[in-house]
Copies of this chain bind each other. A is one copy, B any other.
Amino acid sequence: MDAAQIEQVRRFNRTVTERVGVLHDHYLGRDRPVGEARLLWEIGEQGQDVRRLRQRLGLDSGYVSRLLRSLEADGLVTVQPQPEDRRVRTVRLTDAGLAERAALDARSDELAGALLGPLNTAQRARLVAAMAEVDRLLTAATVTLDIVDPHHPDARHCLRSYYAEIQERFETGFDPTRSLLPDAAELRPPHGLLLIARLHGEPVGCAGLKLPPGAPAEVKRMWVAPDARGLGLGRRFLAELEARAAKHGHSVLRLDTNKALTAAISLYHSYGFQEVAAFNDERYAHHWFEKRIAAPLTTPTQRPCPDGEAGSVGAGP
């Protein structure tokens, strides 16, 4: 991270907050305070629990309540207790609310149009491409990795999605009972661990690590949600797992995988794994990989890793 990079980022921040920020307030805050507009937007067409709204926007419960009352007074929303749990209340947009939200939507489009407007066709295409890149990388930077218990709801969500995906993608389908599935205890300290990637609090990927004493560490059940692919998450998982395996004194990391997972296979290659002979008799595996790993040097989360990127459905079941 050199001074020129820092300088460029700062210039970017200035330009963007000026240009986008000003237009943002101008277009979106036209009739309605920004807080209400944000809330109206977040409620969505389906409606939302107040609790979730608070969580997603990171707002004080009192504040949300007040905003909702204001929207209710304008006839834009209705708030009703949930039948199953009458403490939780659900907000729904009325027809007027839906119309208002649509207007907001149109204004967001206008705003975007105002940014592109003064440019010619080629410049527009370049701007949009660069924005996509910035967007993708900034999003990637907000993904957090945490160790969670395999029974945590987020973990279960990811593992279920993982099984569903490989069941569909493996040529032979996938039957969990015929695979060498690690049970939860194997992915729970001290025998191993399970990482969950979260984006804005939502689980978007998982990766397990087995740490058998006296044997190579093993990557298991690496999966990245379709929405979160292209963010370099697979690589980041591998880097994190490698660092953690090293910290536990392992000098070899290995994994097996199915031939259908081509993106994962090329990730393993590019990340420095070597294909080796089968080291287990997993019936769904076609490839076995191994990588020698070094003693830990820097903190795991900050450690840079080699360049490149790859799809992210991952290490064998």
Contact = CB atoms under 8 A, between A and B. Distances in A.
A294 interface: no
Interface string A80-120: 00000000000000000000000000001101110111111
B141 A133 contact: no
The secondary structure that dominates the A interface is helix
Contacts of A122: 306-308
A13 to B, nearest CB: 5
Give the bracket for the number of chain A residues in contact with chain B: 35 or more
A15 B132 CA distance: 10
A297 interface: no
B135 A16 contact: yes
A281 to B, nearest CB: 36
A138 B19 contact: yes
23 contacts: A5-B116, A6-B109, A9-B128, A12-B135, A15-B139, A16-B134, A17-B20, A17-B24, A19-B138, A19-B141, A19-B142, A21-B21, A117-B141, A118-B140, A118-B301, A118-B302, A119-B137, A120-B232, A120-B236, A123-B140, A127-B137, A127-B138, A130-B137
Interface of A: 1, 5-13, 15-17, 19-21, 24, 108-109, 111-113, 115-135, 137-143, 232, 235-236, 239, 301-302, 304-308
The 8 closest A-B pairs by CB, nearest first: A122-B307, A130-B133, A9-B112, A12-B131, A127-B137, A118-B141, A120-B304, A130-B130
